[in-house]
Amino acid sequence: MDTTTRVGLIGTGLLGQAVARRLAAVDCRVEAWNRTKDKALGLETFGVKCVDSVEKLLSRNNVIICLLSDADACDEVIFTETRLSLIAHYSIIIMMSTLTPEKVVEQQLQARRAKLDYVDMPVSGGTKGAENGTLSLMAGGAKQSIDRLRPLLTHLGNVTRVGDVGAGQLTKLANQIIVAGTLCLLSEAFTLAQRGGADPIKVREALLGGFADSSLLQQHGERMVESDFCARGSAAWQLKDTKSIMALAQQLDLTLPLTDKVNVLFSQMVAAGDGDLDHCGIIRQIQRLNGLSI
């Protein structure tokens, strides 16, 4: 990408805001739009221009980054014939939302009919990764399309082409199997330590640097033992992903016994009223099952 690159970012939730701030900090021209306008306005302090209509954003930018919450929102906001026609031919849509492989293939076909390029690119690393430029970007699409984006996206993190459109979402679902499952295992480990009389804070410190160490132990593990469940990524959205994983596993005739149990645990957590908490709050559900105070 070069100085003619004009980035329009749609969806300024926690991750969208962090992505917009990061790109603006490295002198990218960034405009943003959000359905709830107030969520976007604070970005202007960081050099991001907030526009008052999605039509305006689509018509003025040649790289469209989508970070909307789900497929229905994407269809409503971008993937209509009228909205797609507003985007200049040969512009590129970067789908960073977590959707299903089937949905992004469908979106790519719609984009092609409108003479637009499309890349399936979910991310992992959360707001901290976006702020530090250390996201993992899982790219599905044509190699030349992804290579075209590398000068821009390397400001956000590491871009890996994993296959054609759809492969990015498959990789993200694989990522979510590991993330959700590990959070449940960390919850069980700290609960075992607590019931046995050890200090979970010290247990976590002891595990750092060993084979059990991970980014999740370092970051989410710390929040678990400190009972910091302010949502960076909510349990409700984690459940959306585990449900998608189990639905896809059924389509592929796969048995995923551990992920099946993880899906049940997050379903129970949300049903108990904790859906708005961070997904590391799954420890509350493990404690609830064991009669521990939460």
Kindly list the catalytic residues.
Answer: 172
Query: What SS3 state is found at 185?
Result: helix
* Buried-exposed string 136-160: b where 16+ CB fall within 10 A, e elsewhere: bbbbbbbeebbebbeebbeebbebe
Angle between helices 257-269 and 235-251 (to 10 degrees): 150
| CB of 31 closer than 8 Å to CB of 7 | yes
Nearest-5° angle of CA 134, CA 177, CA 66? 50
Measure the CA–CA gap between 225 and 201, rounded to whole angstroms: 6
Measure the CA–CA gap between 137 and 154, rounded to whole angstroms: 9
Residues 6+ apart with CB under 8 A from 197: none
How many Cβ atoms are within 10 Å of 4's Cβ, its own excluded?
7
Residues 6+ apart with CB under 8 A from 21: 43, 46, 48, 130, 131
Query: What SS3 state is found at 13?
Result: coil
Q: Number of H helices and number of E strands within the chain?
A: 14, 9
Retrieve residue 186's tokens: 């960390």
With 0-12 CB in 10 A as exposed, 13-18 as middle and 19+ as buried, what is 119? Answer: buried
Measure the CA–CA gap between 221 and 189, rounded to whole angstroms: 10
Retrieve residue 59's tokens: 């018509």
